[in-house]
Each structure stands twice: as C-alpha cells, then as structure tokens.
Chain A
C-alpha cells in the first residue's frame, strides 16, 4: 500500500504536486507532499480535519505559494505565474466552495450568469440559453428567480455547481461538497459529480472527509495526514490497507496514530497542582 504517489505523474496528469512544503506561521502544514491528478478522473483527497486539504486547493489555484517544491497545473508551475497568468489559469479551473459562496445580491440566474457576463460579451438570448441549460443540468431550472437566501444548503451547492461549470472548465475542484447535506441532497450531489465528470469530460478533484460518499465515486484517492500522503489508490485498495493511520481514518476510530488528545502536559501532575492550590 505504501505506493509511491508519483507513480501517476506523467504526460496525462493535469495537476502535479511535487515535494511541497508549506508553513502556516511556524506550523508546518505540508512537509513533502506528492500527488498527481489524471486527466478525466475523479480524484479524492481525504484526511482528518486540519490536515490542510483546503490549503492544498489554495495551492493548486494559486491563492498561496509553497515554501518549497512545485505545484504544476496544465504543465505550468503555478508559483511562476503572474497575476494575469493566475487569472488565465483560473478560467480553466472551476471551484465549488464549501458553502456555495453564492453572491447574495444576485438571484440564482444572475449568479450562474455572473462569470459569463464578466468574461464574455455573449448576446443575451445565447447567454440565457446557456444559463438555463446549466440550471437544468443540476435540476434547478425552476429556481432561477430565487435569491440565495431562499435556497436550502443542498440547492445552494447545486447552484454553485451550475456556476462552476458554466464556463466549461477543464478541471473542477470541490471543497467539502457533502458537509451539512441531508442524505438525499448528498446522493444528488454525489451523482452530479460523477455525471458531470463523465458527460463533460472534465477532471474532478474532490476534497472531503466523507469516506463512504467520496469513495463511491472516486477513481483514485489520496489520504493525507501529518503533512504527507499516507496512502493512495482506488477505494478498494484503501479498504484493504493494513496501515494503522489509514485504518483509523477509514474506520473512524477515536484514538490511534492520529491522537485523540491535543498535546498537553501530564494530566495527573496538573490535577495534583490544582488540588494543592485549592
């Protein structure tokens, strides 16, 4: 199972993360992270909370730069791109935010139309056709006139999904797409991710800690812990992993290589001190 995560890197990989180190203040988030994403696949990035999954997305989209190592997207080193280069890259990458991040002063239709209006001068009838077709794809054509505040969590995420695909991106990034959804919405979003990936021929990166959901649709999964990839492979391969950290994460055990307790001094000592003080 201790597969070399760089096995997959090659001419067909869209995203290549090589030996990335990243610090938040003095705290090391990544220390030697390696992973790659194959064109046309759904790649899941899983790991306990606080392991820097969202930071990984920020690295891929050029919002932050690694301390060392390289992040290549479409064969370009993101760190070397200037402002224009980063924006050009982002036009090819769609992103779905954890809470949808819909613009609250625009209705659903205008939210989906937003990137099109900003980047193109499409004639109005064509734009409307485009937006309506994307809303139909996520099943919310009837909700076009609603304001974001009137949507449920699942609906908001589907609108955000329609907005993310409206510019026909080559890569679609999902940041925790299942958090806070009821089982029905979760199933809907899950199916949409698979369908969109296959129908539009895009590459999907799903960051999540919902092992079951994401495992059911991913072609390739990475588990990150302690700043490194600790396991990678298909869901089946991961299920059969014998590595304790992987087992703990997949089985949801409270204690293990990822400790239950936040680092602290000796418990008995502290209790004794408190007793003495009183």
Chain B
C-alpha cells in the first residue's frame, strides 16, 4: 500500500517536471506532430478494426435487449450513447496502452539502456524537453482523435448489424439518434479521452524514463505500463462518469 502511494507521488512529481518541460516543447510542433503520427496514425488500423467489431456487438446485444421491451427503434440512441460516453474512450485507452503505450515505454527504456538519454544530457540537451515532453503531448493529442475515429466506425458497425442484419428501420435509427444525443454526451466522451490520454501517456513515459537499464528491466517496465494504464483508466472512468451524472 505504501509502495503504491509512494509511486503515485513519484508519478505526480514527474508530471510536474514534464509539464515544466512541455512549455518549451510546444514551440517545436514538428517534434510533436511526429509523435502524434507515431502514437496515433500507427494505431489507426487496430482502432478501426476494434471499433467496427465493438459497434457490431453493440448492435447485436442492443437489439436483443431492446427487443425484449419492444423498443428496437431506440437502438441508434443506445449504441451511440454507449460508444460516445463509455466504450469509445475506454476501449481506445486500453488499446492505446497496449499498442502505443508499450512502444513508448520500450523505446524510451532502450534509449536509457543504451546511454542515449545520458548522451543527450552530456550534450547539454534536456531529455525531458527533447524526448519526453513531445511524446507526452503527442499522446494527449492522439487519444481523443483515435477515440473519435473509434466512435464513428463503431456507430457504423452498430448500424450495419442493427439496420442491415436485424431489420431496424434506417430512418428511425438515425433520427432517434439525432434527437436524443446532445453536445453534452459528446463532450463527456472528449473530456474522458483527454483524461485517459494524460494517464496513458504519462505512465508510458514515466515507466520508460525510469527503466532499469537492462533487457529484463525494459520488459518489466513495458508490462507495468499496460497494467497501470488499464487499471488507472478504469478507475478514473468511474470517477468521471459519477461526476458527469451528478453535474
């Protein structure tokens, strides 16, 4: 327990250092764009594939559930709200942790193990500014974008199953969705995915930066990234959901 607390404290202190290094890093948009590409564009295929299937499952399960109450026509609303507010941000964050988070950790960890970070310091270049901050910011930008792509494809998947396969009326599907989904629902999803972006990117760069400089150390750090990011994502998701329902 004390270990977890002290680790939380260390991560918080590290966040402070990274934020301080982020201001100058923002002046170099090319480095950040490169990281948005690394974390974002390279995760697109897996995000799209998973989005499609999650949407299709929602279509099936949603239809089955709603049909019991005779309200299949609400499938569009149900699937969209589920995706926008919950599944989109959360599943994207879990996939991000597995795909982009691990590669961030192992990349930075190997840079540590092969003295690249020390070499930068010896060249009077602050690795927090040059390596860590751009990756951190890049991850935060990439996450909501990925979640948006996930949502769009997911809604398409739900429509594919609900309308084409199960026979829900297409007009009802879209018009009910249009009527019931508000900007508030969309912004809830955006706030969540930005929060998850901060969590997943921060934990990934933290673990990478503090890797024990051995092969086993890099492996362990990568595992810790996935585990910690997933758990923290789900815990914070609960808190944010509760806050949004109350507010």
Is A88 engaged at the interface, CB distance under 8 Å to the other chain? yes
Q: Decide if A104 touches B125 in the complex (CB within 8 Å).
A: no
Chain B hits for A51, CB < 8 A:
none
Is A74 engaged at the interface, CB distance under 8 Å to the other chain? no
Chain B hits for A98, CB < 8 A:
115
Q: Decide if A118 touches B130 in the complex (CB within 8 Å).
A: yes
Among A93-107, those with CB < 8 Å from B are 93, 95, 97-99, 101-104
Q: Choose the segment among B91-99, B116-124, B161-169, B237-245 that binds chain A (4+ C-beta atoms closer than 8 Å).
A: B116-124
> Of A63, A118, A119, which is in contact with the most chain B CB atoms at under 10 Å from its CB?
A118
A102 to B111, CA, bound (A): 9
Chain B hits for A91, CB < 8 A:
124
Chain A hits for B170, CB < 8 A:
none
Chain B interface, number of residues (Cβ within 8 angstroms) = 15
Interface SS, B side? helix
Among B69-116, those with CB < 8 Å from A are 110-111, 114-116
Q: Decide if B122 touches A61 in the complex (CB within 8 Å).
A: yes
A114 to B111, CA, bound (A): 15
Q: Decide if A90 touches B122 in the complex (CB within 8 Å).
A: yes
Chain B hits for A103, CB < 8 A:
111, 116, 119-120
Is A40 engaged at the interface, CB distance under 8 Å to the other chain? no
Q: Which of A63, A88, A90, A99 sits near B123, CB closer than 8 Å?
A: A90
What is the chain B residue whose CB lies nearest that of A84? B124
Q: Decide if B118 touches A63 in the complex (CB within 8 Å).
A: yes
The 9 A-B pairs with the shortest beta carbon distances in the complex, nearest first, are A101-B119, A101-B115, A87-B124, A90-B124, A95-B122, A115-B123, A91-B124, A118-B125, A97-B115
Q: Known pairs A63-B121, A114-B123, A118-B123; list 4 more (Cβ under 8 Å).
A: A88-B124, A90-B122, A101-B115, A115-B123
The 22 sampled A-B contact pairs (Cβ below 8 Å) are A61-B122, A87-B126, A90-B124, A95-B119, A95-B122, A97-B119, A99-B114, A99-B115, A101-B114, A101-B115, A101-B116, A101-B119, A102-B116, A103-B111, A103-B120, A104-B114, A114-B123, A114-B125, A115-B124, A118-B124, A118-B125, A118-B130
